[in-house]
Structure 1
Amino acid sequence: MVHPHPRATVTAVLVLLLPVLVLLGAAPRARALDNGLARTPPMGWNDWNAFGCNVSEQLIEQTADYLVSSGLKDAGYQYVNIDDCWMASQRDSGGNLVPDPAKFPDGISGTAAYVHSKGLKLGIYESAGTATCAGYPGSLNHEQQDADSFAAWGVDYLKYDNCNNQGVPWQQRYDAMRDALHNTGRAIVFSMCEWGEDSVWTWGAATGNLWRTTGDINASFGSMLSIYHSNVQLAQYAGPGAWNDPDMLEVGNGMSFTEDRSEFSLWSEMAAPLIAGTDLRKATPATLSLYGNRAVVAVDQDSLGKQGTQVASSGGHDVLAKPLSNGDVSVVLFNENSSAATISTTAAAVGLPSAGSYKLTNLWSNLVSSSTGAISATVPGHGSVMYRVSVGSGSSTGSTHPLVGASSKRCLDANGGATTPGTKIQIWDCGGGSNQAVTITAAGELRLYGGTQCLDAYNNQTSAGTKVELWTCNGGTNQQWRLNPDGTVTGVQSGLCLDVTGGDQPAGNVNGTQLELWGCNGGANQQWSLG
């Protein structure tokens, strides 16, 4: 959150010192806090980035409902976290924290009961100072009393901030709350929002389940990039029960779709907590396609608990590798720059055997390919390509799948199930019909109906706005397509992207929307995945 006192100088100095600290801090990671919690990085939602102080019982309950109805709960999101401003401005006569009765008419206990009834868990916020960052009563010198309240209310997760700390040493303040939480006898995840001060990663594992490694994030590529640079250097300190926390996800809060996807890829590769910071109730299908990608979430949640490391970085072209529990390696190719670039590595460089065949599964497009060792992709500016690499081989060529649009979560579809040449190609709710079953051929065709009809650029036209239609397969270049590592599909003849017409607008992704060729622009309406 935005704190009422500046700390930009401290953060800047910290960023400059991080490489030195990492080099000096080569000792093994400290023993993790023995509370049995957060064996994989916590997943959930927090209200602050989207709502600030405008938190309420209704918001928390509606978000809990949405986590269930959207499928995000089933994807692993379980914590519904209340941030600052939930309490009254004064403690009661007994010195207890009091939930604001206007915001939480059923109290925190009533809200927790509702969240628990949905199979979810409730998080709350406090600060290790005399006041929270927004000026409400803090927990300094009230640790046990407040921890007892949290436990009595049914709280499952505490985010503990650092404002108004009176200069009391960091570890002393955070250890005090750790011990207080332990004394309650309730299982409460302890999230230390200490802003990455006092080299918290060197002692945090014995105190909390996760610790902020930097100052606050905001919804800009520059902010995300700066935090990534700091957090990626700290892999040696993370592991089951104790995680580096580069702050909440800004996915859905205003960055481009490409940038949002990079943030989610990088956070998952770094085994970071996946705490959504947007208004999920209003999230677009494009935003949900990111939060809900279970293959990427599985990398974050892998039971081995290794944070991905930066195995190569040159000129803003980064390669990250994360070993996984089954022997696979997750690889992210990340382009920090604004122009597209080819980024390459090898199986040996990411920790796989140096000889053999490798299966590359693109975790955003679901496209499968094989390699004898090279791992390479053209990556758009500010973009990323994420592979799960395993020993073996495989290919999507010859396979049949629905082709799902990221902006709509609807399938490429031949209108009305017709097979007549000239039939409109559109998006429609995925239904499993043969008019949505796309077969990828070695010639680059996208065939429907078991391979009898092809996706075709109308009349061999190559201009933006050319309609895509169904036509008898004839081997023409206007029927040849490239399924690219960045999730786009481009026409071989035109070089243009397969585009949901007007799909960059909220109203442009309805059933029946025409597909066309358009200049590639990174929009979610030009991103596709094999279902």
Structure 2
Amino acid sequence: MNLLHKSIVAAGLFGSMAAPAFSQTKSVPKTDFHQWAATPPMGWNSWDCYGPTVVEAEVKANADYMAKNLKSSGWDYVVVDIRWYVGNDTAHGYNEKDPDFNIDQYGRFIPAPNRFPSAAGGKGFKPLADYMHAKGLKFGIHIMRGVPVVAVNRKLPILGSKATAADIYTKEGQGTWLRDMYTVVAGKPGAQEYYNSIFKLYASWGVDFVKVDDLSSPYHAPEVEMIRKAIDLTGRKMVLSTSPGETPIANAKHVQANANMWRTVGDFWDSWEQLKEHFEVCDRWSPYIMTGAWPDADMLPMGRLGIRAERGDDRMTRFTKDEQYTLMSLWSIFRSPLMFGGDLPSNDAFTLSLLTNKEVLAMHSNSRNNRQLFRKNDLVAWTADDPKTGDKYLAVFNAQDQELLPETAAAWSSGQITRQTPGQSKNANIDITGATKLYLNVRNGGDDTGWDHANWLAPTLSNGTKTVSLTTIPWKQATAGWGKSTVNKSVSGGQLIVDGKTYADGIGTHSNSIIEFDVPPGYTRFKTTAGLDKAAASQNTGGTINCLIFTKSPYTPAPADSSRIVVPLQQLGFSSACTVRNMWTGKTVGEFTGEFAPFIRRHGAGLYRISAKK
């Protein structure tokens, strides 16, 4: 997963991690912030469709849709994501060249009035929050951890302190993917006061939800604690969401004690490979589900995405209907917060039906003892309890795939390529005599990050006398784990740049990726350089890739289109006949004794309520 950081960060800058543990069923005192999110939050976030460029009219349009179509089903948060304070940000990325920051005299970012007209005249987000509240909705914003670089450079004063922004920062720990902020050093005079000042401002606007980015991986415990204290001092019930992940599991108890929700993965998009990885992630985090503190599997990349987002073009989700059932079933039985990423007014009837199923949402809100029941290769079952009736919930998943052949079957393999690899690339020069096919395959290099942008540079075919660029030959098909494989551009749409060098000829892609070509007759040699794109190398941890070349299909034989998943009912606590109800269709499946064994399509899911026969 993106930005997964499995190592335990040492004490010092990132602080001590000790904190009390909580259980799934632990009740919390009425004064505890956990009560502010007694069920997993549900809402809409602007990131997946608008990136850092959403404007007020678009936020209101999504809020209007929610109020009309989703509020009665429990959806109520409307969250404006990253860089709402930049007046000239760019779609499909960030403007880091000349960002027009809007900031007040105390070093606090304020909304860009050209994007949020109601914020003009110093009103901030209060008018927009009031708009939400009038509709019975709640208003949220995204912020970056730390103090703005621009506030440090200007030595802006901190409200409630004699210190300035230049007195409380360090460059150590600064996020490399977006350099708007510096780390705030806990204990320095003015550090806590800075956080107090920004949350005091947000409380005056009427903010109900704050998503704090660059906080979870690596885990910045001192800043988590300063943020917790600052929110509590406002007296306003603001739900705290930390992002992105994976939050180190070693910090689970600490984050439980300080936040309402925390990311278990990096940025999740409409990629089956990423969705499949969630089975392991959710199993790992299920012991830490707690009333008011929720492991967050990230947003729901469904509906219409990518209008002006960081990743991909304007599109409907790439998830099939089967995969969307898998996504909603797993998130719901895991009790992840549900933050919809698509443009709500663009929803079709199918998408709306997934978001408003009463039985599924009741399970999401009220179930207990949520856990993986078993995993047999890629056939998975989850279960949970209905504490009111004694019924059991059962989710079954068929995550089987046509598997890739091992690396040893490839005609060439780069081995792991990281930003420490000389040249951040490897050269390939292989004999393909007699080959009719060529497959360029990029795999995750093994570090579980999602920044695996890769480039095939100057790919050429030759026959001894003639050389032709592979980019002039249309491929038969191409996949990419994120975005789309692109000729002569990186997968993110920029130039092909590896280790500081720019290349005019090549293919940009992202793991996991397979690009298939028919080889023209007579060509006997293939040359290319496989490299780590600049976008991957510049991240906090850096991406890692493994690039392979095959001259025959890299796949094993495909599994069946559907598989029978056998669930012994005794494992669920039933020793006699049971009634099984399909929660997605609302229909009774039948009565069963001994076992329940539905057939589930590949990449699909079944979600059931099981009751003892009366």
Q: TM-score, normalised by structure 2?
A: 0.57
Distance 2:102 2:59 in 1: 23
Answer with 239-248 or 123-132: which moved more: 123-132
- Residues 123-522 of structure 1 mapped to structure 2, 5 A cutoff: 123-130=140-147, 134-136=178-180, 140=184, 141=191, 142-162=194-214, 170-199=220-249, 200-252=251-303, 253-302=317-366, 304-306=367-369, 308-326=370-388, 327-338=390-401, 339-350=561-572, 352-353=573-574, 355-368=575-588, 369-392=590-613
Q: What is the deviation of 1:188?
A: 0.5
Q: What is the deviation of 1:325?
A: 1.6
Q: Is the 8 A contact 1:201 1:211 kept in 2?
A: no
Distance 2:183 2:142 in 1: 10
CA spacing shift, 1:216–1:48, aligned 2, 3 Å: same
Match of 2:471 in 1: none
Q: Is the 8 A contact 1:319 1:332 kept in 2?
A: yes
The one-letter code of the counterpart of 1:346 is P
Distance 2:53 2:365 in 1: 31
Match of 1:57 in 2: 56
The one-letter code of the counterpart of 2:570 is A
Matched position secondary structure for 1:333: strand
Q: What is the deviation of 1:387?
A: 0.2
Mapped pair 1:73 → 2:71: yes
Match of 2:537 in 1: none
Q: Is the 8 A contact 2:216 2:242 kept in 1?
A: no
Distance 1:111 1:229 in 2: 39
Matched position secondary structure for 2:300: coil
Ranked by relative contact order (alpha carbons within 8 Å, sequence separation 6 or more), the top structure is: 2
1:104 to 85, 97, 116: 116
Match of 2:136 in 1: 119
Q: What is the deviation of 1:26?
A: 13
Q: Is the 8 A contact 2:22 2:290 kept in 1?
A: no
Q: What is the deviation of 1:175?
A: 1.1
CA spacing shift, 1:305–1:193, aligned 2, 3 Å: farther
Matched position secondary structure for 2:330: helix
Q: Is the 8 A contact 1:130 1:164 kept in 2?
A: no
Q: What is the deviation of 1:93?
A: 2.0
Q: Is the 8 A contact 2:40 2:338 kept in 1?
A: yes
Q: What is the deviation of 1:29?
A: 4.0
Q: What is the deviation of 1:232?
A: 2.2
Distance 2:21 2:197 in 1: 36
1:268-305 deviations in Å (ceiling 9; x for gaps): 01011011111111011111111111211111111x54
1:349-396 deviations in Å (ceiling 9; x for gaps): 12x23x222121101111202212422200000000000111126xxx
Q: Is the 8 A contact 2:216 2:246 kept in 1?
A: no
Answer with 196-205 or 146-155: which moved more: 196-205
CA spacing shift, 1:135–1:64, aligned 2, 3 Å: farther
Match of 2:161 in 1: none
Over aligned residue pairs, what C-alpha RMSD do you find? Answer: 2.6
The one-letter code of the counterpart of 1:333 is V
Mapped pair 1:91 → 2:117: no
Distance 2:147 2:195 in 1: 11
Q: What is the deviation of 1:222?
A: 0.8
Q: Is the 8 A contact 1:128 1:174 kept in 2?
A: no
The one-letter code of the counterpart of 2:112 is D
Match of 1:489 in 2: none
Structure 2 gaps of 5+ residues are: 9-18, 87-100, 120-124, 149-174, 185-190, 304-316, 402-560
Distance 2:322 2:582 in 1: 15
Distance 1:205 1:61 in 2: 32
Q: Is the 8 A contact 1:341 1:381 kept in 2?
A: yes
Matched position secondary structure for 1:297: helix
The one-letter code of the counterpart of 1:155 is V
The alignment-based identity, stated in percent, is: 28
Matched position secondary structure for 1:152: helix
The one-letter code of the counterpart of 1:323 is D
Matched position secondary structure for 1:349: helix
CA spacing shift, 1:348–1:126, aligned 2, 3 Å: same
1:123-150 deviations in Å (ceiling 9; x for gaps): 1111223458655557844311110111
Distance 2:147 2:215 in 1: 8
Matched position secondary structure for 1:301: helix
CA spacing shift, 1:382–1:324, aligned 2, 3 Å: same
Matched position secondary structure for 1:224: helix
Q: What is the deviation of 1:90?
A: 4.4
Distance 2:199 2:183 in 1: 9
Matched position secondary structure for 1:187: coil
The one-letter code of the counterpart of 1:374 is E
The one-letter code of the counterpart of 1:372 is T
Q: TM-score, normalised by structure 1?
A: 0.65
Distance 1:44 1:217 in 2: 16
Q: Is the 8 A contact 1:130 1:139 kept in 2?
A: yes
Q: What is the deviation of 1:198?
A: 3.3
The one-letter code of the counterpart of 1:389 is I
Q: What is the deviation of 1:172?
A: 0.9
Matched position secondary structure for 2:565: strand
